[in-house]
Each structure stands twice: as structure tokens, then as C-alpha cells.
């Protein structure tokens, strides 16, 4: 049996699945992270190292704070297209990442896991 030797968790974005004007460079870079993660999974799997990518939806962070504060209508727009009806919080993503680092996730490899509250279904 192959020993479990670790996990790589990369972070992408829901914007690699859907598009909004003004995010082309950011989303393209995150799309590259998703492809890179698949290659890592393939190339490191024989060493017992898994690689996955988590793709959050809109999350309240320092990165998004200025947008949410300057444009309250953005929060309204996001909640209207998110099945769970709210913008995400960092803890909504942290648990997913933590799980992927555990032995319980030992058979999860080369996956894009979207944690977006059901944004843009």
C-alpha cells in the first residue's frame, strides 16, 4: 500500500467557471492553477502526495473588502445568484481545506472542489 505523504491544496476561484467583466487576467491565472494542480497530482501521486484545488465563490476577505464597502449592490447581486443566499466567510473555505489535508481525504486527488454556496448554478 502506498504511504500517504501529504497534500497540496491550491486555491482557485469560481471565476474560472463563470465570468464577470474586469476579471479576465485574475481568472485566467486561477485557471492555470487548476491545470497545474492536475499535473501535480499526476506527477506526485507515485510518492503518495495528493494535489487538489479549492475554488471559493465570493468571500468576505481583505481582498474583497473595498469592493463590498464601496458598492453595497455587489453583495445584493452575489446573494441573489448564490443558492445559500449570502456571501461566504473565510471559515466556509478553511474547513474544506483542512479536510483535504487529513487522512480521511486520502482518496481525493486531482479534484477541483468548488466551495461557493452554490453560486451561479
Residue 103 included in any domain: yes
pLDDT band at 1 (very low <50, low <70, confident <90, very high): low
Residue 63 included in any domain: yes
CATH number of the domain that residue 109 is part of = 3.40.50.720
Residue 70 included in any domain: yes
Question: Among this protein's residues, is 26 annotated catalytic?
Answer: yes
Q: Of all helices (H) and strands (E), which one includes residue 51?
A: strand 49-56
Residue 121 included in any domain: no
Claim: this prediction has a pTM higher than 0.75: yes
Residue numbers of the domain that contains 96? 6-115
Residue 120 included in any domain: no
How high is the pLDDT of residue 36? 98
pLDDT digits (tens, 9 = 90+) for 63-111: 999 999 999 999 999 999 999 999 999 999 999 999 999 999 999 999 9
pLDDT digits (tens, 9 = 90+) for 24-58: 999 999 999 999 999 999 999 999 999 999 999 99
Task: Report the number of distinct structural domains present in the chain.
Answer: 1
Residue 93 included in any domain: yes
Residue 84 included in any domain: yes
Q: Could you give the C-alpha distances from 37 to 30, 55, 120, in angstroms and in order?
A: 11, 12, 23
Catalytic choice (4, 23, 26, 39): 26
Amino acid at each position: 500500500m502506498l504511504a500517504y505523504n501529504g497534500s497540496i491544496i491550491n486555491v482557485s476561484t469560481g471565476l474560472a467557471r463563470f465570468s464577470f467583466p474586469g476579471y479576465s487576467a485574475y481568472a485566467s491565472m486561477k485557471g492555470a492553477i487548476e491545470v497545474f494542480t492536475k499535473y501535480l497530482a499526476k506527477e506526485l501521486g507515485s510518492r503518495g502526495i495528493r494535489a487538489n484545488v479549492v475554488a471559493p465563490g465570493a468571500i468576505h476577505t481583505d481582498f474583497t473588502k473595498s469592493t463590498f464597502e464601496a458598492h453595497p449592490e455587489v453583495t445584493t447581486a452575489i446573494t441573489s445568484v448564490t443558492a445559500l443566499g449570502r456571501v461566504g466567510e473565510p471559515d466556509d473555505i478553511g474547513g474544506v481545506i483542512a479536510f483535504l489535508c487529513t487522512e480521511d481525504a486520502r482518496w481525493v486527488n486531482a479534484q477541483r472542489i468548488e466551495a461557493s454556496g452554490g453560486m451561479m448554478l
